[in-house]
Structures are given as C-alpha cells and as structure tokens.
Structure 1
Amino acid sequence: MSESKESPDGANFPQEPVKVAYSKTFEIDTLDGFQVLRIKDPQTGDSRDYTLVPKGMDAPENRAVIFTPVRDLSLFSVSFVGYLDALNALDKVKYIENINYIYNPAIIELYEKGSVMESGLYGQWNMEKLILNSPELMMINDFPESSNELNKLLKAGIKVLPIMEWQEQDPLARAEWIKVFGALLDQEEEAQFIFDQIEKDYHKASDEISPDTSGIQVLFSSMYQGVWYMPGGNSYLANLLRDAKGTYAWEHTIETGSLSLSFEEVILTSLKNDVWINPDANSLSELYARDGRYQKFVEELSGGVYQNNKRVNANGGNDYWESGVVRPDLILKDYAKMLYPDAKKGVELFYFQKLN
C-alpha cells in the first residue's frame, strides 16, 4: 500500500504518475503533487479529470476530487467485480445493481449477510436507500448526464466516476483498468504487479500458438431480432482472435463495434467455418429451435460450437463478464483450445464449453 496517500501531512509527496501501456480511455498523471485521473470517451472525444486526494489532506479548489483510499463503492456493472476481486478488495463493495446478475460467490455471501445491498438498475435507483446509506463512490459505464436523480445523489455527497473499460478494443487495455482501481484504493503496486503477470501470460499464450496451426476460420454470434451482429475488424473480439492466430470473414473491416448483417449476407460470405463461437445458445438443439437454417452452418464446421457459459450460476450470473474482463490471458487460452484442440490436448476450457 502507498503510505504517502495515507499520510494527512502530505509526507512522501509528490505522488507518481501511473504507467499506462495499452489503454486509450484513461491516464493517471500528476498535477501540483496530486494524482489526476483522466477518463476519455474515444467515441466523442470528451474527457473528465478527477484529482485523487489522500484523506486528511486539503483538496485543491475548483477540481473534481475523489478522496482516497475509497472505502465503499456502488457498482453499476458486473465487470467491476472482476477488478476488485483481483485486488482482494470485495469488502469495499456496498451496492450492486441486482444480485441475480452476480456470479462471484464472495459478493453473494456478503449480500446474504447484509453487507452488500441492491441499488436497483441504473437510472431506476432506490434513492432513499442510496442516500441513507451513501457509498463514497458510484461507478458507472458512461459519463454522468444531468438528471434529477443524479443531482439528488450528488447533493448527498455521492461522487460518480465513469469506467470506460468497455470502450477498449485491446484485450490487455481492458485488463489495464485494474490500475484505476488500484489508484482509487491506494493499491497501485498490487495493481501493477497483477497486470504485469496478466500481460506476461497473455503474450506467452499467444506466442505458444504455432504458426503451422494458424488460420482457423471462426464464425461469431448469431441472429438477434432479425440482425446478425458481427464484430468489426478493429473490435475487441477481432483483436483477441488475431492474437489467437485465427481468422474470420470480416477481419479486414474497420469498425470497432459490431457490423449489422442479414442472415443472407452471413451465409453467402461465411458458410464454411472451422469453429463457431458464442451463438447465444446452451445446446445445439436450442440453436436449431431458434432457426433451423443454423444446422447448415454447424454441418460445415470442423471444430464445433462453443459458448462462454461454463462458469454460470443458478441465477444466470456469468463469470465471463466478471473475471474475464481482467483476465484476457485465460480467455485467450480458451481460444487456443477451441481453435487448436489437437495442439492443446489435456488443457481444460475455463470460460467456454462445447455445445452438443
């Protein structure tokens, strides 16, 4: 833990900037001896600065301030659970949106004991509960916009911080957001250590995939309300597949989000594939029941269909969306197993399982 942040007399100041190697959506620099966290939205170009002030010290004027270390948090995304779990800081969680969204057994236990409460879904908060039991910091997935509900919370002294990890297209950039959580909790060294190991394991997993086995063709997702949403060529999934040395028919497109395709476009462009990942089904029979035409895709596969539903609890909480955000190394190892099973004999899938 950083002793300088705990010291009310400012000992060991100034604080140090945090090295950011992959992220495009945050920086942690210093100004006047304080760390300044800058959150950036790559879609709009907007940014917000938050000065991190050790508790017990006077805050600089005319700045958005977060006093550190933050002791309790309200989380409006299950992905935030993964970062806190990696830092062994789940005891800092005060609110989650809905317990049925949660996979982490420790959070569920804290909820059952009454230490963690439900806030209600984003924008549909239990205002009385939030104000009476105010968390120090609310974490949300976008820049906060002015609203009557949000203004009430802000007037009650609750600070709001946008967490933009979902805007990152590099898998390691999403993992690197653990450094933001480390800065908020005065656990910078732990966060850096954890990230360094994840980065090392990620590159090792990619390097171990032999060029002789590369080139496996992948199909992603399936139809949803008449549209087949396919990841764009600069998206998170495209970059993950690239690091797994796999290919897919839309890898040369420029989009960072999803492409909106028709069934006909997909079947004409990418009928013959080796592996189908995440068609949003728990079995082949469920997949065929949704649309019998899917069977033709499956018949053309050489490697099978996989869904990221291996770590799902009885209420539907899925660990892929929690720990998976901060552990792209484990996801990449799953991709290697799915794409090259003969080269990965004896390796067990962690987040995915093959559909029968």
Structure 2
Amino acid sequence: MSSATMCLVDALDANDNILMSGTKADDCSVAGFKSALGSGAIAYGGKYSAPDYERISASGCTLAIENTMINHTPDVKEKLQKLGLVVLTEQSSSEPKALGRVEWIKLFGVLFDKEDEATHLFNEQKARVEQTSGLASSGKTVAYFYINSNGAAVTRRAGDYVAQMIELAGGSYALDDAQTASTSGSSVTLEMERFYATAKDADIIVYNGTIDESVATLNDFVGKNALLSQFKAVRNGNVWVTSADMYQQMTSTADIIDELHGAFTGDDTSDFHYLRKLG
C-alpha cells in the first residue's frame, strides 16, 4: 500500500482490508492508518524498493497497491508477481487536476465494496472545491517550490495539480507553460538565477515543506540561497510553508484549497493545518 493512498482507504473505513504497508507508523500522518500500524493490525512490509518478500509471502497477501515509484524498480514488481501478487500501480500523482486525484477514491470503493461511500466522499470534496473556486480572485501571483541540495529551485509544472489548486484558491501561478517545459515530469528544476528572473515579483511564496522539512523560520528559508532575500514576497513578509503531510492528504484537498485561499486573501489563519506563515 503506497503512502499517498492511505487517506483514501482510511476515509472509506477500509483499513481492515490492508495487511501491510510500505510506510512505518512514525512516518504516517493518516490517523486511522497510523493507529493500525502502531497496534500491528497493519504490518510494515518494507520500503517499496526493498520489500520484505518473506513476510509478504507468508501473509497470504494477493494484491500490492503501488504508486508510480514502482516503475523505477521493475525487478521488485516482477518478484512480487512471481510470488503470486497482482501489482496495481495507482497513478493519482500523474493527474493534472486536483479533483482527479481525489476521484481515485472510486477505485478503492470498487476494490473494497464501498462504491456508494466513495462517490459520496468525492462529491463532497467536489462541492467544496467548486464553492471556493467560485469566490473572487485574490489577484495575487504565487510561486511554489523548494530548494534542493544543489541550491536550485524545484517547482511544479504549470498545469500540474498543485498549480491548479493555487488557481482554484484564487491565486495566479507565477510560472507558465513555456517556463516549466524543460521536463516531462510534474517537477521542474530551475537554476536559481533563472528562477529568480521568473518568480522574483510573485506576491506570495509557498515553500514545499513536504519535500524539505528543514524550513521552520524565515531565516531558515532565506539561508537556502542568497537570492531569496530579494524576492518581493520575502520583502513583504508573504512566505508560507506547507506541512510535511500535505501530499498524503488527498481527501483533504478542499481543506488545502481553502487554506490557500485564506493565505492569499488575508483571512484568519489560526486554525490552519497545511500552511504556516514564516516569520
């Protein structure tokens, strides 16, 4: 079971169908799933790239639900299949639309005989997202990225689901298709000078704390690269960081979009979970 889909299974109250997970309890942010891992009701079956084949074989497991990372380890997929498992590769991370990711809950509804529950949960998220997206635009441009170990900015392709969530929340993504066309994947790495020229005037920065958890303060942030202190959003005190668990929370898509909207419009942020303003 891949980490990103835990929330879908948990929302359907279908955790008792899961024998093993590739995520340890300490690394899991989905409450029900974390509890099951902690109690041993769901066992840790090893990392996706190095599963515990002996334990998996002994468990009687017949289905392995993997994300697209399994494509980088075809030998693992082949070994699981030789053990008699059907390997299902869920591709929610490749969805260009935010609600497209959430709609994967319908697949799990079919797998676990909870189709009505899945449809209800999806429609609930859809209605909330449509309500927020119908509000007036904030008029704010938004840059979303993290700084890698080489000092380069890793951002998201324009049109990617993260960029779309920013648009649905009333923001305008700071990079366009031409500026993020250097790769076929969802992430785009830009040398800092190029990224600065493109995004320096963004009204708001959202730092990707899901990938880089080392940024707790504004000083931590500007310490990543000397050019960051010259960004408009930094000078104006409009830098935010995401929670480490944001990517694991597909069923909270509407909440995340609501928080983005609040950050863009200056709403009360006291009960935010997925975004925090750096000071």
TM-score by length of structure 2 reads: 0.86
More helix by share: 2
1:285-304 matches, within 5 Å, as: 285-297=219-231, 300-302=234-236, 304=238
The answer to whether the 8 A contact 1:127-1:149 is kept is no
Displacement of 1:88 in angstroms is: 1.3
Q: Which residue, 167, 170, 178 being the options, matches 1:242?
A: 167
Q: Structure 1 stretch 95-104 or stretch 161-170: which is displaced more?
A: 95-104
Matched, 1:258 2:187: yes
Separation (CA, whole Å) in 2 of partners of 1:347 and 1:112: 30
Displacement of 1:346 in angstroms is: 6.8
The answer to whether the 8 A contact 2:109-2:118 is kept is yes
Structure 2 counterpart of 1:178:
105
Separation (CA, whole Å) in 1 of partners of 2:157 and 2:76: 36
The gaps in structure 2 that reach 5 residues or longer are none
CA-atom RMSD, angstroms?
A: 2.4
Separation (CA, whole Å) in 2 of partners of 1:300 and 1:109: 39
Note the alpha carbon deviations across 1:106-139, whole angstroms, 9 max, x for none. Answer: 3232223221111111121111111111323110
Structure 1 counterpart of 2:61:
135
Structure 2 counterpart of 1:101:
27
Displacement of 1:147 in angstroms is: 5.4
* 3-state DSSP of counterpart to 1:222: strand
* 3-state DSSP of counterpart to 1:229: strand
The answer to whether the 8 A contact 1:275-1:301 is kept is no
Note the alpha carbon deviations across 1:170-208, whole angstroms, 9 max, x for none. Answer: 00000000000001011111111111111001100111x
Structure 1 counterpart of 2:242:
308
Say how many residue pairs are matched.
267
Structure 1 counterpart of 2:204:
275
Structure 2 counterpart of 1:56:
none
Q: Structure 1 stretch 132-141 or stretch 221-230: which is displaced more?
A: 221-230
Amino acid at match of 2:155: M
The gaps in structure 1 that reach 5 residues or longer are 1-74, 310-317
**Structure index of larger Rg:** 1
Structure 1 counterpart of 2:147:
223
Structure 2 counterpart of 1:321:
247
TM-score by length of structure 1 reads: 0.68
1:71-220 matches, within 5 Å, as: 75=1, 77-99=2-24, 100-142=26-68, 149-207=76-134, 209-211=135-137, 214-220=138-144
Q: Structure 1 stretch 110-119 or stretch 182-191: which is displaced more?
A: 110-119
Amino acid at match of 1:227: A
Q: Structure 1 stretch 187-196 or stretch 84-93: which is displaced more?
A: 84-93
Q: Structure 1 stretch 100-109 or stretch 143-152: which is displaced more?
A: 143-152
* 3-state DSSP of counterpart to 1:293: helix
Q: Structure 1 residues 348 and 145 mapped into 2: Cα distance closer, same or farther (>3 Å)?
A: closer
Structure 2 counterpart of 1:351:
274
